[in-house]
A = this chain, B = another copy of it.
Amino acid sequence: MTQKAVVLLSGGLDSATTLAVAKANGHQLYGITFDYGQRHIWELEAAKKIAKTVGLEQHIIYKLDLSCFGGSALTDRQIPVPQITEEKLNTNLADQGIPPTYVPARNTIFLSIALGWAEVLGAFHIYLGANAIDYSGYPDCRPEFIQAFENLASLATKAGVEGRQFRIHTPLIHMTKKEIIQKGLALGVDFRLTHSCYSPDEQGVACGRCASCQIRLRGFQEANLQDPIEYQFRPSSSK
């Protein structure tokens, strides 16, 4: 019998690749995208297009407001989105501390809601595109957090205490951006549909300057590929 999986789908390159991995693993797919008060809607539009292309059993856009708390450059317009220097980009980003784009407890909240839905669905697999390598001082993208959440899931739910084991799959957690892009391409991900930029213009065109754009562009460059999306600015070093 096909096993159901809930996949967290942000609309970015990582979650699109994660969805493709879940599909390749033969799961029946349930996608959840969070409309949490992020600065722009382009991520959500990207998630919808990706979900439609891949073909899910169900895709829900789940609305909750994390912007009411503030505390992050992604939900609070008072906090600037960081740019990143070429020099910084070439060092180990995970060693540079937690960036202002960290959203307090975001993955804990998202995984908790996904867990609630998963339990109702009878889905014991949850996929998350967390990555501990590129630009990830984010604590809630680290393997020890994922492990702790998996432990919690067994204690938190009726299914768990009745002996079912929830698995939190993070197939990209130890990959570089280059490796994620290569994996995605191998699985047929259409990267034209994905959105990564923190500060797109009014038409949703990526800035090419924010940390997220730069890491993405460098990933394509290292994979010796052209990023198929449009940019307002494309560094001369990238293709």
Contacts and interface: CB of A to CB of B under 8 A. Distances in A.
Interface in A174-213: none
Contacts of A158: 98, 102, 104, 139
Interface string A110-122: 0111011101100
A148 interface: yes
A106 B188 CA distance: 37
Contacts of A160: 139
A54 interface: no
A71 interface: yes
A108 B108 CA distance: 9
A111 B119 CA distance: 18
A116 to B, nearest CB: 4
Nearest to A147: B155
Interface residues of A, number: 43
Contacts of A65: 62-63
B69 A117 contact: yes
B156 A105 contact: yes
B148 A119 contact: no
A149 interface: yes
Given A62-B65, A108-B156, 11 more contacts: A104-B120, A105-B156, A108-B112, A108-B115, A108-B116, A139-B155, A145-B152, A145-B156, A148-B152, A148-B155, A152-B152
